[in-house]
Amino acid sequence: MDTINRQFRLAARPVGLPKDTDWELTSEPVPDPADGQVVVAVEYISLDPAMRGWMTDRRSYIPPVAIGEVMRALAGGRVLASNHANLEPGEHVTGVLGVQEYAVVDAQAVTKVDTTQASLPMYLNTLGMTGMTAYFGLLDVGRPEAGQTVVVSGAAGAVGGLAGQIAKLKGCRTVGIAGGEGKCAHVVADLGFDAAIDYRSEDVTAQLRRHCPNGIDVYFDNVGGSILDAALANLALHARVVICGAISQYNNTGPPTGPANYLSLLVNRASMTGFIVMDYQARYQEGMREMAGWLAQGKLTSREDVAAGFETFPATLNRLFRGENTGKLVLKV
């Protein structure tokens, strides 16, 4: 094809917060699709905290992005050309398309989505991996029961905001932890949490004690660090701590801070469990159907924070780590 594809490639393994020099912006012609492949014009790129982990050369649940490789990212776009019977030009798809303007991928590696039902950013958010992470992490790992107290960190973020809303739909008292007055107001007013704690200006341990007088039954953690410790200090008997992420630790140059209060697990006969959303692939249909139903009934707010300009990718990604996004951060290409 004649079209030129711009791509962000990993130029160096970041130390701490990724720097501009950790990226290389390259251009190359879009290759012709092989049999079974499609060419997708990428329209929205999902920016996720997990991307920081993919940049580090360490054994994890998937291999790291290699130096010189196009940065891995979930994204959504429009099919430009297709060599597969199941996809037509003009249709929309989501998948691991990478941080680039055009992706040539196997048709079977992408998911067709109906943009008359929901926007492409929503398919990257509530109706995509983000939504599935909140749904299965909360319900399957956290197992909240009606009447219990659920605390969510990163509550103004993409996964946290959904996890708290789902907890509320299941009849739980929900308390969110977020950074700043504006985010805390959003969490209560727009997302319907019962209370919010501003970790930038409040004593999280004391506020958790105040808002959770009977202790925390489910703590859904997206942040790690001192906030995880504050939650551990306030567990109820038989509490479940769900380890979804630890964004406060991802740019540490030393080892992460371990939770000093982990012996609260013993005192409270509690558990701390990690999960990876990809393990729930066989049940995505179930999760999508329920999330779509709640959206249609107006019971769930899908909040996207759309940044524009492909070339802003390095700076926009870092907004996640600085806590500057509210809702799901996506980059409009």
- Bridge partners, residue 40, by sequence: 79, 103
Residues that bind a copy of itself (rule: CB under 8 A) add up to a total of: 33
Token pair for residue 71? 């940065």
| Polymer length in residues for the chain | 333
Piece in contact with a copy of itself (CB under 8 A), picked from 12-20, 73-81, 119-127, 239-247: 239-247
Tell me whether residue 85 or residue 266 sits nearer to a copy of itself (CB atom): 266
The minimum distance between CB 82 and a copy of itself, in angstroms, equals 36
Tell me whether residue 86 or residue 271 sits nearer to a copy of itself (CB atom): 271
Backbone angles phi, psi at 209, to 5 degrees: -60, -40
**Number of Cβ atoms within 10 Å of the Cβ of 185:** 14
What distance in Å separates the CA atoms of residue 97 and residue 255, rounded to the nearest whole number?
31
Tell me whether residue 123 or residue 250 sits nearer to a copy of itself (CB atom): 250
What distance in Å separates the CA atoms of residue 187 and residue 155, rounded to the nearest whole number?
7
Residues in 245-284 that interact with a copy of itself by CB under 8 A: 245-246, 249, 255-276, 279
What distance in Å separates the CA atoms of residue 147 and residue 170, rounded to the nearest whole number?
9
The angle formed by the CA atoms of residues 137, 141 and 210, to the nearest 5 degrees, is: 85
Q: Which of 147, 142, 137, 138 is nearest to 270 (CA)?
A: 142
Tell me whether residue 241 or residue 288 sits nearer to a copy of itself (CB atom): 241
The minimum distance between CB 261 and a copy of itself, in angstroms, equals 7
Binder among 224, 287, 323, 327 for a copy of itself (CB under 8 A) = 224
The minimum distance between CB 228 and a copy of itself, in angstroms, equals 9
Binder among 12, 20, 29, 61 for a copy of itself (CB under 8 A) = 61
Residue with tokens 């990876």, as numbered in its chain: 276
Tell me whether residue 253 or residue 297 sits nearer to a copy of itself (CB atom): 253
Q: What residues line the site for a copy of itself (CB under 8 A)? A: 59-61, 224, 229, 243-246, 249, 255-276, 279
